[in-house]
Amino acid sequence: MRQANCTQADLTQAILTRSNLNQANLTGAEGTEAVLKQVNLTWAKLNSANLKSANLQQAVMIHATLIETDLSGADLQDAILDHATLKNCHLSNIIWHQVSVKGTHFCQPSGLLTQEKVWLRSQGATIS
């Protein structure tokens, strides 16, 4: 599914464990409670996507661009978001355990607690 165009795709509760979505376009995708464990989302574009309560454990999202994407309640344990850009994303109640965010830029995020911002910055992310 490399470079897949999944615009407006309904991925609600889909199980896509270990899928290669490198450079995929997930604009407007609906993925509430989707299982995306160990998915490769390197260089992927997620614009206005809904990944509420999605399981993104060990997902690789290096250089991914997420704009106005809802990740509230998502499990990002052991995910790699290095050098990703997250702009105007909803980020409340996320599981951040062992997430790598080196060089990641969070631009106008909503839902982040103060202690989450402090931790993300300590791991190499910038928040503006």
Is the pLDDT confidence value at 2 over 80?
no
The parent domain of residue 68 ranges over 1-128
* Count: domains in the chain: 1
The order of strands in the sheet holding 45-47 is 45-47, 65-67, 85-87, 105-107, 126-127
Q: How far apart are CA 54 and CA 107, in angstroms?
A: 21
Q: What percent of the chain has pLDDT over 90?
A: 93
45 contacts 25 by C-beta, under 8 angstroms: yes
46 contacts 27 by C-beta, under 8 angstroms: yes
85-126 tens-digit pLDDT: 999 999 999 999 999 999 999 999 999 999 999 999 999 999
Q: State the pLDDT at residue 4.
A: 77
Q: How far apart are the first and last CA of the chain?
A: 33
CATH number for the domain that contains residue 64 = 2.160.20.80
17-43 tens-digit pLDDT: 999 999 999 999 999 999 999 999 999
48-87 tens-digit pLDDT: 999 999 999 999 999 999 999 999 999 999 999 999 999 9
